[in-house]
Structure 1
């Protein structure tokens, strides 16, 4: 299956007829050229021009830039970014500079004024540099296009070409390197804050998901008990969660209003008593109130539910409701800033838990208003059980994929279980009489891949198990039978994503209510699931979780902790530029400060430093030939499942490898390797074989880390199998 939608484009460009200059509409060597076939302008770009540029002094210029850059095969999201930057800055620059038309725009003069902060002082350095870069790109493409035309034709189009600015004219004003270095230091500081918790993040996500499953199970038990025994509302129950007992009440609309009659208008009380209007049978849905948590065996403060404070403040569960109460809005923003979301003193409203998909992390629109009003009158907090469960399921799968494959969020959004995108690979047995084993692999198109050729992303057994859970949840929700060959609904790739133009409607796994998730939706689910985990920089600044930060953490863990070579990590991350991989994987300040002579000795004995920095093409070719039969995904590996489908330069020395997902059922293999390493270390110390001893110490450390990971996996797997039974109160 070819994913790209570019070939499906109708000539959306013609919608601009009568709205832009006819010369530009039919410009030669562009998609509008009636005499030749060039790449047509994508509908997404035409829509942007229609909504944001038409009628402005620069509309024709932006339209020509769009057509030319499209003809030069730039990616749609790259062109869209340039249009947004140019259009938004001119919106502010023209009134600030007193300009009326683009004929008034003096490129060199006005660009210098902007970069020297003589105008629009509120713009950030990043915004200024972005405008300059996009202007330069647009100018370079249009000037190159103009020169390719016959001289007689050039004169017709010269009025629509932006003034050229020599880069030397603004040299030193853009501060590109300074800004880039500041951004990199910020990301490095955030990665530094994340790394001490990297292994714990995955385990915590599983434990939180297990808690949510038990809450949902008890909710269903309560509803079943009420129905079978014909019990009245409210219905009180509790259940044990670890060392605590959690107390709840099940209400319906009528019972809640009647119990809080003094807080409601008399007409609402009458409607509740009569069961009419908003209290009619079809609208009288039950809902759950969390009352309190109490310790069972000591006087410590109860932990309760990790999301209770989010519900009390009202930053989740609100279904996109507008907040009219400014005091309440500021209270919520203050709470969010205390958790690291948003900037102090900023006017921008932060909404880190907002999800655009209906009934995920929020009440349905049918219940949102009633619940919001009832929450003011309640002592406890109302929990949208199913909406939180759905968010937990998707959040867990996202965390699992990010921390075990290092994939980007746009690659995660492509995940689907159809035959063209998800396959099972049979691994031949290594000995006679052994059955074959199987591995699962996603076929996804990474960022930067201009063709429609997918790349392979191998996953471990634990991830496969989670995929089954998500598929079952969606199967129940959509009332379909995947086992009988039915498929999830084919939904459009989220239109807000910059790469949406490349993908057709498909049964994407990250969907709900017939809507594909966006980047922000995935991030919100992760933040919800891991709320309460605190990450701080060395300066004490809170760091918030983002998918891309987990990707940086994956790369850092691979290189700095597991000592995997840069080019291999780049292959895992599907990055073409090794410099980018090196930036991702750079040691953090904490890692540097904790380094010691012993660490350096161990590092230098583990791999050749010269090889780490650079290797010649001939060396790489020879290495590849030598490694052809050493592909982890096609071989059994010690202690787990390999997800790296390329030759392994370490000869399948797999203990502690970041691309191997530990399997607790293979614990004995790691323990045996650890026992052997300890015996060998004792021998090497006696013989004063220091390099070999350092290598063995590293192997021992890696085995111990792997056993710790197995402990965490076993813990959340055992926790997952623990049932909860309600106690009627």
Structure 2
């Protein structure tokens, strides 16, 4: 069992000072079984969002506790981002429509139930409502399980007030959710039926794409091995040739998180730069990782334009991640 104690040493996160005194000290200093602070395992993007959007909200400690534990459980940072943004936005909506001021006044059986039943905020879609419940209930379960398994009784008692209340209802009670889910299933079936005759072509294209990505992965691993064993300073430039049937040469740069920050100082704030220089927090050895920059592709022995990777256009158009949240209708139609 872990005894929750605020020690003299402190987390290495570059955002520690901004969080100190703003959130519960017990939560901020939570450690894993090896003694590492949970806050140091969070991505810079998620912590920044929390500081900028959540830290002044009544549910800040509840949400921080949950996402720190999700991070300790190795959840995908993108999934954690979805949890933070979705729950924060929907709670702001619910608190505003019911004129709530603190978590003690929030009744999940009343306020959230009315929201999910569409008694309020009727302009919200069924997907928005069901998404809240889909993320909210597992967050509670995961948080409770970790606390019971890792903390002593005194710490459990202290953190109990920061646990979101568990609703007695589930998605089956909301007929609109069921209709929405069934409609989605029917749509998916129609789409998959239309692809049956194209399966051989899809399979061939899939094999080509997998092989190209696999060659890229192997080249990346070889470059990383060379850098780590020979202690080569980053960025490290390398290249490799595709098979004769493709006849292209691909050029890359290998980076790690800190080296990329320090080579683009004009793009980052002082806190981030200091952390990268000292290799602390998100840029510590424990949290470091390598990645590659695709520089260019060229056709070997021919004066032609290279195709490069099959996913280059996807990257250039910015359709990875949550692109749909920050564009207008014209841009959204173009990307689709």
Q: TM range, normalised to the smaller chain?
A: 0.5 to 0.7
Who is 1:302 aligned against?
A: none
Shift of 1:196: 6.4
- Report the Cα offset of residue 134 of structure 1: 0.8
Could you tell me which runs of 5 or more consecutive residues in structure 1 were left unpaired when the two chains were aligned.
1-8, 203-399, 423-458, 472-486, 496-500, 525-542, 547-729
**Structure 1 counterpart of 2:41:** 41
CA distance in 1, matches of 2:110, 2:100: 13
Report the 3-state secondary structure (helix = DSSP H, G, I; strand = E; otherwise coil) of the residue aligned with 1:489.
strand
Aligned partners of 2:162, 2:45: CA distance in 1, in Å?
A: 22
Give the conservation status (yes or no) of the 8 Å contact 2:140–2:163.
yes
In the TM superposition, residue 113 of structure 1 has moved relative to its aligned partner by 0.8
CA contact (8 A) 1:107 1:165 kept: yes
Alignment match, 1:713: none
- 8 Å CA contact 1:417, 1:509 repeated in 2: no
User: Are residues 523 and 52 of structure 1, via their aligned partners in 2, closer, same or farther at CA, if it must alter by over 3 Å?
Assistant: closer
Report the 3-state secondary structure (helix = DSSP H, G, I; strand = E; otherwise coil) of the residue aligned with 1:118. coil
Distance 1:195 1:151, change over 3 A: same
CA deviation string 1:252-301 (max 9, x = no partner) = xxxxxxxxxxxxxxxxxxxxxxxxxxxxxxxxxxxxxxxxxxxxxxxxxx
Residues 520 and 488 of structure 1, relative CA distance in 2, 3 Å threshold: closer
1:38/1:71 contact within 8 Å kept? no
Equivalent position of 1:164 in the other structure = 166
Q: Contact conserved, 1:413 with 1:517, CA < 8 A, in 2?
A: no
The equivalent position to 1:506 in structure 2, one of 270, 292, 303, is 292
Alignment of 1:411-422 (within 5 A): 415=216, 418=219, 420=221
- Which of 254, 275, 279 is residue 490 of structure 1 equivalent to? 254
Higher helix share: 2
TM, length-normalised to structure 1: 0.30
How many angstroms does 1:87 deviate by?
A: 0.8
Unaligned runs of 5+ in 2: 1-10, 224-241, 262-286, 298-310, 320-332
Relative to structure 1, the CA distance from residue 419 to residue 20 in structure 2 (aligned partners, 3 Å threshold; closer, same or farther) is closer
Shift of 1:23: 2.1
Aligned mates of 2:294, 2:218 — CA distance in 1:
8
1:11 corresponds to which of 10, 13, 31: 13
Separation of aligned partners in 2, 1:522 and 1:414: 24
Partner of 2:24: 21
Secondary structure at 1:55 match in 2 = coil
Q: Please list the CA deviations of residues 330-351 of structure 1 after superposition, one character each: whole Å capped at 9, or x if unmatched.
A: xxxxxxxxxxxxxxxxxxxxxx
The separation in 2 between residues aligned to 1:421 and 1:175, in whole angstroms, is 52
What are the residue-to-residue correspondences of 1:175-574 with 2, within 5 Å? Answer: 178-192=179-193, 403-405=206-208, 415=216, 418=219, 420=221, 462=245, 464-465=246-247, 468=248, 471=250, 488-490=252-254, 504-508=290-294, 519=314, 521=316
CA distance in 1, matches of 2:296, 2:125: 35
Larger radius of gyration: 1
1:183 is displaced (CA, Å) by 2.2
Listed as ranges, the matches of 1:556-635 within 5 Å are none
Cα distance between partner residues in 1 of 2:26 and 2:119: 36
**Residues 1:405 and 1:107: Cα distance change in structure 2 (over 3 Å):** farther
Change (3 A) 1:508 1:94: same
Tell me by how many angstroms 1:83 deviates.
1.0
Contact 2:54 2:60 in 1 (8 A): yes
User: How far apart, CA to CA, are the structure 1 residues paired with 2:296 and 2:124?
Assistant: 36
2:72 maps to: 71
- Give the CA deviation at 1:58: 1.5
Q: 1:111 deviation in Å?
A: 2.1
Q: 1:66 to 1:109 in 2, by over 3 A?
A: same
Q: 1:70–1:76: 8 Å Cα contact kept in structure 2?
A: yes
Q: TM-score, normalised by structure 2?
A: 0.59
CA distance in structure 1 between the partners assigned to 2:335 and 2:191 by the alignment = 9
SS at match of 2:101: coil
Q: CA deviation at 1:199?
A: 8.1
| CA spacing shift, 1:119–1:461, aligned 2, 3 Å | farther
The 3 A distance-change label for structure 1 pair 506 and 136 is same
2: CA distance, partners of 1:157 / 1:503:
33
By how many angstroms is 1:116 displaced? Answer: 0.7
Cα separation, 2, equivalents of 1:82 and 1:417: 34
CA distance, structure 2, for counterparts of residue 406 and residue 189 of structure 1? 26
Cα distance, 1:118 vs. partner? 0.9
Does the aligned pair in 1 maintain the 2:256–2:288 contact within 8 Å?
Answer: no
1:152 corresponds in structure 2 to 154
Partners of 2:109 and 2:167 within 8 A in 1? yes
Cα displacement (A) at 1:75: 2.4
Aligned length: 250
From the superposition, tell whether residues 503 and 36 of structure 1 become closer, same or farther in structure 2 (CA, over 3 Å): closer
Distance 1:132 1:72 in 2: 20
Q: Give the direction of change, closer, same or farther, for the CA distance of 1:545–1:96 in structure 2 (3 Å limit).
A: closer
